[in-house]
Chain A
Amino acid sequence: MRHDFIDRYSRIASSIHNLPSVLKLFSTLSIIIITVAFPGNCYFFFPTVILFLIAIIFISTIPVGFIIRRLLLMEPFVIGIAILSIFQEGGWEVFLKIMLKSTVCLLAIIIFSNTTTFTDFIRLLRKLHMPVVLVNVIALMYRYIFVLIDEAERMQRARASRTFIRQKRLFWKLQGSLIGQLFVRSYERGERIYRAMRARGFS
């Protein structure tokens, strides 16, 4: 189902998945922070970390192809900005370092997001004392992302079945109008949800 594209592999029961969320987050953050802070003089660092992450991938039984595809999805953007770094003294070295660092960090976060369910992530945020309002907003946001995507798709399909001219200008106007309607619907849905919350004691 379409809606799996986020959580597809976060529900496997491997030994990595079963680790406590705090540990998973902490290790991911450590890897990222160390990589970012790393001055980059010792080139043993990168192969070591990458091998470590690859080992984690294998233990977690997440398909390697999936991880590689997620990685490749992000690379164009990385390269796009990284190119700017070439135009300075020692630019190529900077470029290489950036590419290595960003790839390592990307790997780490892709592994994290595919070994941690969203609910565990929310629980983690609460445990770490993130402000309640923010966590609740995130939880609600996540719940309704799929609902809104479905709604947007339905509106797009309805529009497409009545649009016969292929004009970019028209498309922009219709797309913008769709988003506007999406907001109105989201607002009204918010009101209905509030009602449902009150019906079960929320005040």
Chain B
Amino acid sequence: MIPAINVMNLNFRYEDGTEALREISFHVQENETVGIIGPNGAGKSTLLLHLNGLLPEVKTEPSSVSIFSEGITDISESSIRRSVGLLFQNPDDQLFCPTVYEDVAFGPQQFGFDEKSVREIVRGALKEVGLEGYENRLPHHLSGGEKQRVCLAGVLACQPKILALDEPTKELDPRGRRTLIEFLKKKPITIIIATHDLEMVVELCHRTIILDSGKLVADGSTHELLANERLMMEHGLEKPHSLQHRHPHR
């Protein structure tokens, strides 16, 4: 089966020379939900930015990242953008249009849909995130959770095949977080989440990847990895509460 995401020996260095990612290799099957965890500065966000071609700025061949077996090149970049919907950490960075409608419509408009289709897509996306009727609302009048949902709608409006989320629960209150988790549970799509929210990882992801200092240090079943207290502590994490009394090999 063609993996949805295939990362082969990915290396990345920032302009100032700092190494961010070192020889990362993993793959994600279609409809899998994978969590990426690790201490701050591990490279989680940087990794996500490689999945839709935002990084590296200058593409090399062959590409280290393939989406549904298509390598990310200058040419394939724009279609990959549609396939991989990336949700950024801070909603204010992503919600840049004057109204909710215009922001959710941004993606479909960029991809060339006509106005009528755009309107339908926007309505559908807003309905999917539970924000029906929000079309004319202004971003600065929305709560953090609502903003996040608008951003999610904006990503969904691009009709992606893969959802990549960067710290999605960071700005959310408990209710918002619960709504998001339930939404992701029901969505039949490939999902990859970079997060500190280990409880969410336990709930949503069958598989987890641990990143530390740019290297992939573990890749396996969530319950096995996260219940392994020593492994977690070694990489700046801790065993989540829900697994406190769980034996690693149960």
Contacts and interface: CB of A to CB of B under 8 A. Distances in A.
Chains A and B in contact, CB within 8 Å: yes
- In the A-B complex, the 9 residue pairs with the smallest Cβ-Cβ separation, listed nearest first, are A201-B110, A200-B107, A192-B93, A146-B140, A196-B94, A199-B86, A3-B140, A139-B98, A193-B96
B141 interface: yes
A202 B112 CA distance: 11
A197 B88 CA distance: 11
A201 B82 contact: yes
Contacts of B150: none
Contact of B136 (A119, A139, A193, A198): A119
Contacts, number: 70
B35 interface: no
B141 A202 contact: no
Nearest to A197: B96
B98 A201 contact: no
A125 to B, nearest CB: 12
Contacts of B88: 192, 195-196, 199
Interface string B97-115: 1110010001100110000
B106 A147 contact: no
A6 to B, nearest CB: 10
B139 A143 contact: yes
A143 B86 contact: no
B92 interface: yes
Interface of B: 49, 52, 54, 78, 81-82, 85-86, 88, 90, 92-94, 96-99, 102, 106-107, 110-111, 136, 138-141, 154-155, 158
Nearest to B49: A195
A195 B57 CA distance: 11
A140 interface: yes
* Chain A interface size, under 10 / 10 to 19 / 20 to 34 / 35 or more: 20 to 34
Nearest to B99: A119
Contacts of B82: 201
A142 interface: yes
A194 to B, nearest CB: 9
A122 interface: yes
Nearest to B52: A199
A23 interface: no
Interface string A128-145: 000000000001101110
Given A119-B98, A189-B92, A200-B155, 5 more contacts: A3-B141, A118-B138, A147-B92, A196-B93, A196-B94
A97 to B, nearest CB: 39
A199 B81 contact: yes
The residue in B49, B86, B136, B140 that gathers the most chain A C-beta atoms within 10 A of its C-beta is: B140
A200 B106 contact: yes
Contact of B81 (A3, A146, A192, A201): A201
Contacts of B86: 199
A133 B96 CA distance: 15
The residue in A122, A140, A195 that gathers the most chain B C-beta atoms within 10 A of its C-beta is: A195
A1 interface: yes
A62 B111 CA distance: 42
Interface in A1-44: 1, 3, 7
